Amino acid sequence: MARKKSNNAKEKLEVKPVEITVQPITETIEKNFMPYAMSVIVARAIPEIDGFKPAHRKLLYTMYKMGLLTGARVKSANVVGQTMRLSPHGDAAIYETLVRLTRGNDTLLHPFIDSKGSFGKHYSSDMAYAAQRYTEVKLDPFCSELFSGINMNSVDFVPNYDNTTEEPLLLPTTFPNILVTPNLGIAVGMASKICSFNLAEVCDAATQMLMSPETTVNQLLDILVAPDFSNGADLIYSRSQLHEIYSAGRGSFRLRSRYVYDKSANCINITQIPYTTTIEAIIKRISDLVKDGKLKEITDFRDEIDLSGFKLTLDLRRGVDPDKLMLKLFKITPLEDSFDCNFNVLIDGIPRQLGVPELLDEWIRFRVGCIRRELTYQLDRQREKLHLLLALGKILLDIDKAIAIIRDTKLEKDVVPNLMDGFGIDQVQAEFIAEIKLRNLNREHILNRLQEIEDLQKEIADLELTVASDKKLKTLIVGQLKNVKKKYGKPRMTQLIYEDELVEYEEEEEIDTSDVRIVFTSEGYFKKVTKASLRGNDEFKLKDGDTIIYNADVPNNAELLFFSDLGQCYKAKVSDFEPQKAAELGEYIPVRLDFDEGERAVTMAVVTNFMHGNMIFIFQNGKGVRIPISAYETKTNRRKLTGAYSVSSPIVGIFQEDAPVDILLTSDGGRALVFSSNLIAVKTTRSSVGNAIFTLKEGQSVISASLCDLKSNPDAKSYRKTKIPSTGAKQILG
């Protein structure tokens, strides 16, 4: 018996082989993966030409059907529940979609939902929105432009997921919402990221395309200047980058935060940040940099968002340049961020990447179709009305006959056939006649109704002409666009920073501040020589006929101002030049600093403190002026300053003044004048023509200007004057 049981156990343990079906991977992808991928692309993630994804469209249409375009606000939970009739994805997903469309969330330039309650903020990932049972919503009046003509067959309707009701396939937007509402969608194998543009500019661009379909991208760039975002910030404008985005529907641009410096509190208040980042991401990055010791300029930072709007405050250490710090933060934190565009849009159910002109063309095609369907619907209703009124005209000839037919008919079902036979009208007309109230079967009422026939016939003729003409339909659309712009257009929120105005942060290297010898010559040659290489030899090699006009020891971190004969100033630092030997000629400044063709360096000034000293300019017409050195200070590393001094009269002499000096002027009339520089008026405007110093006779001019040492030039004492302007004294020759 035991052996038998053992055999039975073996039989139970026997496993039948599993049949494995071999399926090629291509077939698996085709049958299992592709339907899912296409469903996500076509019915979920990619927006269509009306600017909406299905989730947006289902929600807004539900609110429209609830009467929330004109009614009072209702609880968000009510809207979410009603929307589930069209969207089976659950209340949490629907409410999240609703939140991003509200005014309170600040995501859109033109919010579609007027909200009450806490809806979080687009620029904060931690600021959570309140539960749907606490918030209230209704449609913003702006939504009237989304549903214009929707009840007049302007778009197709399709059954919802359980065939219990219908929903629109698209919304008949009266403006190119695809370019006004920002959209981000990630599908399977593709994605879409569309930036928002200013509504007024979009309406103008669409109008231009309607009037001139051959409009080029460059022409559009003059109208649709650049993207515009709800939270403002600054857009770094590159026409070439935007041209690529407008042409191909793909590319990127940079957005930069906007800030103000509070001098009294020594802090920077950041008031607007790029659309693509959040305050939490910025704070985390700044915190990490402070901890790593890479951001020593900041003592504290905090989130000060309140009812007045966005605010991130940075407390600075004493002496920190706020503009230079912000340039550094733009480079190493999300305070400057890029927006990557990918204009993927569903056109007739097919995903296509389109540029701005193509998007506008497709929207125009779509909108022309909507208007034509809407007008056709109106035309059909007017024709039906005319058809009924023509029947009234027939019974007007014999009202008694109509009454007699109805009175003498024994069966109710025979009333309509008898009227049709009696007056030669069709069934629809007979039904209309049969339904007229007895009180309205009088000549006056019928005559009043018949007066509408002529107006109806004229209106029908106009509608038929309009429906048949693309030009007339486009004219109607232009009128609607102008009306939308007038009613809802707003100034740009995002301002532009042009690339030629852009200042990039350059990390400063440690500069040796020890003294070096610098030499500058009248021919424009400059050399820097270290003290070690001099070795007691102060003789410098020069070109034949050249002379030294500056030879002194200065700090290696001092700034140099080179003034040219064309009224321009070129800036450099001593540290910018490599040390040379005394036996070398030096660097030719017009070449090194890229002077204009034919421009010559007149003199050089060495500045260690822009708050101290002046520049003195003496002109050929006998005038002179003192300009504070501070007028040549720039917050950025600009190399060239135009309008460094007036060019209304040729320059004769330029001098740097740290303390009052004596200046000697001579004229071609044989006269000379010596005066103290503190007699010259100080002007804050660099281009000032100055005041008269040397009184000259007609046709005469100043021919030379030089610094004068009265101790080494006793004869010059006779030219000295204590008041200007002066005629000077006759020059002693010999």
Give the domain CATH number at 390.
1.10.268.10
The span from the CA of 204 to the CA of 337, in Å, is 29
* Residue 509 predicted with pLDDT over 60: no
- The verdict on 575 and 678 lying in the same domain is yes
Asked whether residue 453 falls in the same domain as residue 539, the answer is no
241 lies in some domain: no
CB 558 within 8 A of CB 608: yes
pLDDT reported for residue 27:
79
Question: What confidence score (pLDDT) does residue 506 get?
Answer: 64
d(CA 157, CA 173) in angstroms, rounded, equals: 15
DSSP string, 658-712: SS--EEEEEETTSEEEEEEGGGSPB-SSTT---EE-B---TT--EEEEEE--TTT
Is residue 312 located within the same domain as residue 412?
no
Specify the DSSP element, H or E, that contains 423: helix 415-423
| Closest of 259, 194, 269, 261 to residue 229, by C-alpha | 194
Q: Are residues 478 and 535 in the same domain?
A: no
Domain count, the chain: 4
Residue 226 maps to a domain: no
Q: Residue 544: which pLDDT band, with cuts at 50, 70 and 90?
A: confident
Q: Which range among 336-345, 412-421, 704-713 shows the weakest confidence by mean pLDDT?
A: 704-713
Query: Taking CA 563 as the corner, what is the angle to CA 507 and CA 551, rounded to the nearest 5 degrees?
Result: 85
215 occurs within a structural domain: no
Between CA 433 and CA 451 the distance in angstroms is 17
Same domain, 413 and 529: no
The pTM assigned to this predicted structure is 0.68
Q: What tokens does 655 get?
A: 């001098």
pLDDT in tens, 278-288: 999 999 999 99
Confidence band of 441 (pLDDT split at 50, 70, 90): confident
Is the predicted pLDDT of residue 34 greater than 80, yes or no?
no
Instruction: Verify that 535 and 474 share a domain, yes or no.
Output: no
Answer yes or no: are the C-beta atoms of 399 and 446 closer than 8 Å. Answer: yes
**Inter-CA distances, 556 with 492, 511, 529, 549, 630, Å:** 47, 8, 11, 19, 20
Map residue 430 onto helix, strand or coil.
Answer: helix
Whether residue 51 is predicted with pLDDT greater than 60 in this model: the reply is yes
pLDDT of residue 535: 67
Q: Would you please indicate which residues are annotated as catalytic (active-site) residues? A: 134
The pLDDT of residue 500 = 75
- Judged by DSSP in three states, 81 sits in helix
Residue 350 lies in a domain: no
What pLDDT shows up at residue 15?
A: 67
Choose from 370-374, 413-417, 656-660 the range with maximum mean pLDDT.
370-374
Q: How confident is the model at residue 435 (pLDDT cuts 50, 70, 90)?
A: confident
pLDDT in tens, 72-92: 999 999 999 999 999 888 899
Checking if the pLDDT of 7 tops 60, the result is no
On whether both 533 and 643 belong to a single domain, the answer is: yes
Cβ atoms of 223 and 508 closer than 8 Å: no
Average pLDDT for 57-65: 96
CATH at residue 673: 2.120.10.90
In a domain, 230, yes or no: no
Do 97 and 61 lie in a common domain? yes
pLDDT digits (tens, 9 = 90+) for 598-612: 899 999 999 988 888
* Of the ranges 162-171, 386-395, 717-726, the best mean pLDDT one: 162-171
Q: What are the C-alpha distances in Å from 82 to residues 64, 85, 100, 171?
A: 11, 6, 18, 19
Query: Could you tell me if residue 266 is inside a domain?
Result: yes
On whether both 383 and 454 belong to a single domain, the answer is yes
Arithmetic mean of pLDDT, 552-567: 90
CATH classification at residue 160: 3.90.199.10
The helix (H) or strand (E) run that includes residue 453 is helix 452-468
Residue 524's nearest CA partner among 583, 598, 619, 578 is: 598
Residues 543 and 483 grouped into a single domain: no
Look at residue 45 and tell me if it is in a domain: no
pLDDT above 90: residue 575 = no
Give me the percent of the chain exceeding a pLDDT of 70: 96
pLDDT at position 279 is 95
- From the list 268, 264, 255, the residue with the least C-alpha distance to 323 is 268
Please check whether residues 405 and 297 belong to one and the same domain.
no
Residue 213 lies in a domain: no
Res. 190: pLDDT tops 90: no
Task: Work out the mean pLDDT of the chain and round it to a whole number.
Answer: 89
Which of 128, 145, 172 is the endpoint of a domain?
172
pLDDT at 345: 95
Q: What is the rounded distance in angstroms from the CA atom of residue 643 to the CA atom of residue 337?
A: 35
* Average pLDDT of span 186-198: 91
**How, if at all, do strands 614-619 and 623-628 pair?**
antiparallel
CATH number at residue 285: 3.30.1360.40
**pLDDT at 1 (0 to 100):** 44
Task: Give the residue numbers spanning the domain of 414.
Answer: 368-487
pLDDT of residue 11 exceeding 60: no
Cis before 351 (ω within 30) = no
Q: How confident is the model at residue 2 (pLDDT cuts 50, 70, 90)?
A: very low
Q: Kindly report, residue by residue over 659-672, the tens digit of the pLDDT.
A: 999 999 999 988 98
Do β-strands 234-237 and 495-498 pair in parallel, antiparallel, or remain unpaired?
A: parallel
Same domain flag for 296 and 393? no
Q: For residue 240, is pLDDT > 80?
A: yes
pLDDT in tens, 491-503: 999 999 988 777 7
Of 221, 255, 225, 242, residue with least CA distance to 339:
255
Handedness of CA 593, 598, 599, 603 (dihedral sign): positive
